[in-house]
A and B are shown apart, each in its own frame.
Chain A
Amino acid sequence: MLSFENESSFAPPVQRPFAMTRALRLLRRRLVGSAFVLLIVVIGSFLLLEAAPGDAVDAYIVSTGGDAGMIELLRHRWGLDQSELTRLANYLWALLHLDLGQSVTFSRPISDIILERLPTTLILMGSATALSFGLGSALGIYAGARPGSFRDRFLSIGSLALYAVPGFWLGLVLIVVFAVDLRWLPIGGIETIASGKTGFSRAADVATHLVLPVSALGFIYLALYLRMMRAGMAEAWRQDFVLAARARGLPRRRIVLAHVARNALLPLITMLGLQSAQMLGGSVVIESVFAVPGLGRLAQEAVAGRDTPLLLGIILVSAVLVIAINLLVDLAYAVLDPRVGAGEASA
């Protein structure tokens, strides 16, 4: 909105900033905001950690044994006998060094375990996002091309029904149909254990293992993109530029794709970032159903093992991941849409 002031006749004509400059400016502003948000998340997780019954020493003593003197000594050595504020400062200081602490159940540094599990979850999330975004927006264009038609109503109700399906249940149904009855696909896991496969055949093995979890996760969120695309197109049909395109006698197909759908697509990209947090949450149950050794299953293992520091570590990493994804989406948006960031020349 500010761009009108900058380009008014009072000021000398300003050179329109390049896409990259705008993107960088946006990045700087967002990074500051993200740092604040992350700090709140860290403090929140510290408070949760404090609220959890028992501390790291209790957990340690359970597995090793030791007397009261030993407990006292450990509390002192690990700084747990200090005031809350000091401990929060210590916690922050450790986090700055990417030290998430020690896992009780795995007896290993939490950051190592999370790094090990992260790639699997990223592959799962990435594929599921591609599936839901690609298929969802394609079906949304198909439905939105003729608003109010039979196929529009059918897809609209169908997507609502799909949106009502719990992901973990869809996963179980897929297992019953495709793994138990038809035996087309493996029932769970990420690859055939001890198959000795390497290179391409191993990748193919992982891919077949991922078909069901990706479908279970992707199909639920597909409905969201479909509905957004449809709603956006219904809005775009009423705009003047569509009327103008029709008046120019453009073929209908071209109007639908190049004018109507194109304008409805941008909000979907924002949704892509907002949905990443939901996807991560959804992957917890999906990974548990399919025994996929990713971050989500790790969260469930942490809950089962009463390993609060590990669980909070996962939450922190997820928050960082969500922030990073949203930054990328904002940058993509700034590059795609010349209006974004253009008005903040003085920022």
Chain B
Amino acid sequence: MKRLRRLLHTPEAIAGALILALLIAMALAAPLLFPGDPQAIAGPALLPPFRDWSLPLGTDRLGRDVLAELVHGARTSLAVGLAAAAAALLIGAVVGTLAGFAGGLIDEVLMRMTDAFQTVPSFLLALAFVSIVGPSLGVVVAAIAISAWTGPARVARAEVLSIRERDYVAGARVIGMHPLGIAFREVLPNALPPVLALSSVIVAAAILTEAALSFLGLGDPNRVTWGSMIAEGRTVLRTAPFLSIVPGVALVLTVLGVYLAGEGVVESTAVRRSLS
């Protein structure tokens, strides 16, 4: 309880936590609120918002319920964002730990690989990956993860470099623990806090990347996503701009919620914020 109060000590953190809680509730309740296919036709086409209270946000070009699409889209956005960020943090932590703990040639090779991944624009890499393997939810998650693991890897390595000189690591060596055991059971867990501090930035970037990919038509074709809704609305931008604007506002609120909540968490755990 005390921890929660400390977490919510700034108005920004409270706002962020509220937004996120609402979104997660919305995403979880989507099948209850709007049972059935959100892509089914629900009314007349291009109904503007706030006219018909059974379709509060109106309908799109094909007469689909915008609110139902929006709520189901939250599922995709959050699921992809969280899964991709978790994968990126995992890859980054493992690579960073190996590089920092092993040192020498392994470190050199792994860090040049990290450089190479950072040299290629991450969005182009994700784009190429999805377009070559083919769009599906899993591929989109993988594409975002392989373009986002470099930041966590660098932070993890820096942390491991200082941890590996500590006494308890020397102790683990003395009792004959396997180096990999030391790296992943003793060093990695202690190197995690600054890596996890990056998670809000990475979740936010993952949500934005997923949106941009599906905006360009590279999302999972069988799912409603906010990016594909914006792309859909773009074809009728002149007559019905709300179709693009509404899902965009949802995106901005989501990402902002992630940032604000993330700052709250980082401040409350008193981990020094590092700009990635």
Chain A residues engaging chain B, CB cutoff 8 angstroms: 33, 36-38, 40-41, 44, 48, 51-52, 157, 160-161, 163-169, 172-173, 175-176, 180, 227-228, 231, 274, 277-278, 280-282, 284-285, 288, 299-300, 303-304, 306, 308, 311-312, 314-315, 318-319, 322-323
A323 to B115 Cα, complex, angstroms? 10
| Contact call A281/B122, Cβ cutoff below 8 A | yes
Once A165-B252, A314-B124, A315-B125 are accepted as A-B contacts, the answer to whether A322 and B131 lie under 8 Å apart by CB is no
- CB nearest to B251 among chain A residues: A166
A312 to B129 Cα, complex, angstroms? 10
Once A172-B248, A175-B237, A311-B131 are accepted as A-B contacts, the answer to whether A277 and B122 lie under 8 Å apart by CB is yes
- CB nearest to B12 among chain A residues: A157
Is B42 in the interface zone, CB < 8 Å from A?
no
| Contact call A281/B121, Cβ cutoff below 8 A | yes
Which chain B residues in 242-260 approach chain A with CB under 8 Å? 244-245, 248, 251-253, 255-256, 259-260
What residues of B have a CB within 8 angstroms of the CB of A168 in the complex? 211-212, 215, 230
| Contact call A172/B237, Cβ cutoff below 8 A | yes
What residues of A have a CB within 8 angstroms of the CB of B133 in the complex? 51
Is B132 in the interface zone, CB < 8 Å from A?
yes
A277 to B241 Cα, complex, angstroms? 31
Chain B CB within 10 Å — which of A165, A281, A284, A303 has the most? A281
| Contact call B204/A280, Cβ cutoff below 8 A | no
A48 to B130 Cα, complex, angstroms? 11
| Contact call A176/B241, Cβ cutoff below 8 A | yes
| Contact call B208/A166, Cβ cutoff below 8 A | yes
- CB nearest to B116 among chain A residues: A40
| Contact call B119/A319, Cβ cutoff below 8 A | yes
Once A168-B212, A278-B122, A322-B119 are accepted as A-B contacts, the answer to whether A160 and B256 lie under 8 Å apart by CB is yes
Once A48-B128, A172-B244, A280-B124 are accepted as A-B contacts, the answer to whether A285 and B118 lie under 8 Å apart by CB is no
* Interface size range of chain B in the complex: 35 or more
What residues of B have a CB within 8 angstroms of the CB of A160 in the complex? 256, 259-260, 263
A303 to B143 Cα, complex, angstroms? 15
Is B174 in the interface zone, CB < 8 Å from A?
no
What residues of A have a CB within 8 angstroms of the CB of B216 in the complex? 284-285, 288, 300, 303
| Contact call B131/A280, Cβ cutoff below 8 A | no
Is B127 in the interface zone, CB < 8 Å from A?
yes
| Contact call B112/A180, Cβ cutoff below 8 A | no
| Contact call B119/A172, Cβ cutoff below 8 A | no
